[in-house]
Amino acid sequence: MLTEQQKQKLLKIARETLEYYLSGRELPPLPNGDPVLQERRGVFVTLKKEGELRGCIGYIEGVEPLAMAVRDMAIQSATGDPRFPPVRYEELKDIEIEISVLTPLKRVKSSEEIVLGRDGVIVKKGPRQGVFLPQVADETGWSKEEFLSNLCMYKAGLPPDAWKDNNTEIYIFQADVFSET
């Protein structure tokens, strides 16, 4: 989906944003020459420290230009993920940044349409929803049933078999995933 140059630009935006923000400096201006970086796309920024998750927040759907979304989600991943204390400036040297740029959502009728490792999945029932990025399947090694049950329970706060309920909406998407390493 993205060129290598665009990926490097987005990683640079995320890294510089964290360096400036966590040191209390004014954020640098965003590049504006590439029309792809101006597209409204869903994006997640994941921070890892020594291979372990340290923060991950994103937009499922595009609400602002991609370059701006990466900047905002880098800050949120570092300071706003309720599962972790805020990242300190001193930690940055040990943090690896991973970015996932998402395709538009597609509603599916059944779990049969989901391909683990290719598709990210959203389950939605009433006001509750949860999302797993495509790479979660590879990282956990779960079967499709384990993947969907964990998504329902731990991300959406639904019963583990809620994905089988006809009143639960299931959406899939793909992601262009890249990191600093």
Q: Are 160 and 125 in contact (CB under 8 A)?
A: no
Q: What is the pLDDT of residues 35-71, one digit of tens each?
A: 999 999 999 999 999 999 999 999 998 999 999 999 9
pLDDT at 102 over 90: yes
Per-residue pLDDT at 65: 95
d(CA 176, CA 43): 9
Would you say residue 75 has pLDDT above 90?
A: yes
* Res 85 pLDDT > 90: yes
Per-residue b or e along 72-83, where b marks 16 or more CB atoms closer than 10 Å to that residue's CB: bbbbbbbbebee
Distance CA 137, CA 113 (A): 15
What is the reported pTM?
Answer: 0.86
Is 100 within 8 Å of 47 (Cβ atoms)? no
Tens of pLDDT, residue by residue over 152-171, are 999 999 999 999 999 999 99
Q: Which CATH class is domain 106-174?
A: alpha beta
Q: Where are the domains of the chain?
A: 4-102, 106-174
pLDDT at 7 over 90: yes
What does CATH list as the number for 4-102? Answer: 3.30.700.20
Task: Place 1 in a pLDDT band, splitting at 50, 70 and 90.
Answer: confident
Q: pLDDT (tens digit, 9 = 90+) per residue, 105-150?
A: 999 999 999 999 999 999 999 999 999 999 899 889 999 999 999 9
- Token pair 């201006």 is found at 29
pLDDT of 33 above 90:
no
